[in-house]
Chain A
Amino acid sequence: QVQLQESGPGLVKPSQTLSLTCTVSGGSISSGDYYWNWIRQPPGKGLEWIGYINYYSDNTYYNPSLRSRVTVSVDTSKKQFSLKLTSVTAADTAVYYCARESTVTTGFDSWGQGTLVTVSS
């Protein structure tokens, strides 16, 4: 059973870069069978998809509304994938989730527990 765990700073200053890591256990991150995603949820609000990476195809894709500020990368040796979001503002305050998505069937079938990132000076 695959497990995902987010980690990173819980507080980021405005205009700085938010950096989070998702560690994958119980499964291969380098398999072409999955997209590795980031999704966020502002407090009391709904889910917003941020972007994904597929290591095998070396393919990334980002939400057009965030594309200019987002980078998702993978480190297979550590079984981790990462999110960088630049020039953050208070609007980026949210619980950030990493999630796995099959390339064969659709939908996010495994999620991390989420980590709250607050943007504040």
Chain B
Amino acid sequence: NFMLTQPHSVSESPGKTVTISCTRSSGSIDSNYVQWYRQRPGSSPTIVIYEDYQRPSGVPDRFSGSIDSSSNSASLTISGLKTEDEADYYCQSYDDADRVFGGGTKLTVL
């Protein structure tokens, strides 16, 4: 099995842009789709990106996903940061039938 490694925490100011990375330890990042979830304190996770860059209905276009084969990583970019974006963010992918989560990144908007 592979691992998905995320930075433990990131912080940025309101109105700015932040990018959270998710690096796959083995195998190609583009061999399986990557999803991103937001988890606010005390709440269940909700999906914000699926299939690398697709946004579910209701997710603002401030959220975008991408894949970089050269670094074998996926990224979640949030532009025009709002205080309500402060949360934990998790990436997730597949290894055959196994579902694998990254360790999560705490985003602080200050």
Contacts and interface: CB of A to CB of B under 8 A. Distances in A.
Interface residues of B, number: 23
A56 interface: no
A107 B90 contact: no
Interface residues of A, number: 19
B46 to A, nearest CB: 7
The SS class assigned to the B binding surface is strand
Interface string B26-59: 0000000101010000001111001100101000
A77 interface: no
Interface of A: 37, 46-49, 52, 61, 63-64, 97, 105-109, 111-114
Interface of B: 1, 33, 35, 37, 44-47, 50-51, 54, 56, 90, 92, 94, 97-104
